[in-house]
Amino acid sequence: MTSELAARLLQWYAENARSLPWRGHPDPYAVLVSEFMLQQTQVDTVIPYFNAWMERFPDAASLAAAPVGDVLRQWEGLGYYSRARNLHAAAGQICARFGGQVPAEVSQLESLPGIGPYTARAVASIAFGADELALDGNIRRVLSRLADMALPARSKEGKAALTAFGRQHLPGGKAGDFNQALMDLGATLCTPRQPACGRCPLAEHCAAHALGVEEARPVLPPRKTVPHYIVTAAILQRDGLILLAQRKPDGLLGGMWEFPGGKQQPDETLADCLARELQEELGVEAAIGAPFGVYRHAYTHFKVTLHAFFCTLMQGEPQPLDAAQLRWVQPAELRDFAMGKIDRQIAENLLAQLKER
């Protein structure tokens, strides 16, 4: 039994579905890759990464066989790098436990690293036609408005209420389209601010719209103010090679490569900061030379202003005291190492400068 709400939604989707590279493909691996990339990341950002990824790693076996460094390099720029490590590990388990085929059951999917309640149900419904509601940010927002839910949308009770409401309308055998239709609606019309209710196929069914409180739904927790750190980084050169440090596997930018350095402490000059960091992280004494740019970047939970400097080793051989490993690399090799946004910018500026001379 398809509710009138679901029928209208599916009709709208038939006429307005976005054309996306992972849609219309029967390949569950392609759906899985797209869902990993889409976690907390917008469609327009994902599309070029998805296309390049499928070219490079067309199936679970090719991904599982690749070195994790290559996987991170391919993911570079998408952020939340644990997703890349988890997808790589999941591909390994898919080959080892499921004969190279993405499993169809929610419980099997959730047993894979990086797959939680949302991704498991998205893959099960989209790739395998299972009757599952996939509750993501878009669907949470749309359903919160349709039901005018006053509960915090991300609380345990809120999620349970939204799941129950969504399941009431879930059309049997069409859950994949239902989920994707709600997500498209949320991304294009039922947006966080200034939703286009005038063009919404569900406006007549929307309790929040009837009350004019669309923008008050969903109820979200208040944002916290983020700290701002001043950090330094060193470009250490020797015999034409440049020193890179690989971050430890977990935490911020886990497994990514960077120019060594760290946070400035109170009452410390930038030069003092960098000299101290190089002593602590590499066990060396270094002279701090010419500045090489100021870089600003906003992460989710803090902001950074980074000051880069050319440095010269004075005493000691660099040791990976705080890094997973150190490498002296040729300038041309810089592009082979996965880096976060700021360090990639430094590396590219460095290459440009070396090319000039």
| C-alpha distances in Å from residue 46, one per residue of 35, 49, 68, 158, 272 | 10, 5, 20, 29, 41
Applying CB under 7 A, the residues found at the interface with DNA are: 18, 20, 34-35, 38-45, 76-82, 86, 113-120, 122, 136-138, 141, 156, 180, 183-184, 186-187, 192-194, 220, 223, 251-254, 297-301, 340-342
Q: How far is CA 95 from the centre of its chain?
A: 24
Name which of 218 and 260 has its Cβ closer to DNA: 218
Q: Which of 35, 76, 132, 277 is catalytic?
A: 35
Rounded Cα distance between 166 and 291, Å, is 56
Shortest CA distance to 80 belongs to which of 256, 325, 343? 256
Considering the complex, what minimum distance in angstroms separates the CB of residue 337 from DNA?
13
Name which of 223 and 357 has its Cβ closer to DNA: 223
Name which of 212 and 251 has its Cβ closer to DNA: 251
Considering the complex, what minimum distance in angstroms separates the CB of residue 315 from DNA?
32
Considering the complex, what minimum distance in angstroms separates the CB of residue 72 from DNA?
10
| C-alpha distances in Å from residue 325, one per residue of 85, 281, 319 | 18, 11, 8
Considering the complex, what minimum distance in angstroms separates the CB of residue 47 from DNA?
10
**Eight-class DSSP state of 95:** H
Rounded Cα distance between 84 and 78, Å, is 9
Task: Please confirm, yes or no, whether 204 is among the known catalytic residues.
Answer: no
* DSSP H or E stretch at residue 207: helix 207-211
Shortest CA distance to 340 belongs to which of 84, 87, 80, 76? 76
Name which of 109 and 288 has its Cβ closer to DNA: 109
- SS3 of residue 311 by DSSP: strand
Pure H helices in 4-81: 4-16, 28-38, 43-56, 60-65, 68-75
Name which of 77 and 316 has its Cβ closer to DNA: 77
Considering the complex, what minimum distance in angstroms separates the CB of residue 203 from DNA?
19
Q: Is 267 left (phi over 0), alpha (psi -120 to 50) or beta?
A: left
**Eight-class DSSP state of 335:** G
Name which of 89 and 95 has its Cβ closer to DNA: 89
Considering the complex, what minimum distance in angstroms separates the CB of residue 324 from DNA?
14
Check: CB of residue 324 under 8 Å from CB of residue 255. yes
Rounded Cα distance between 299 and 113, Å, is 24
Residues serving a catalytic function are: 35
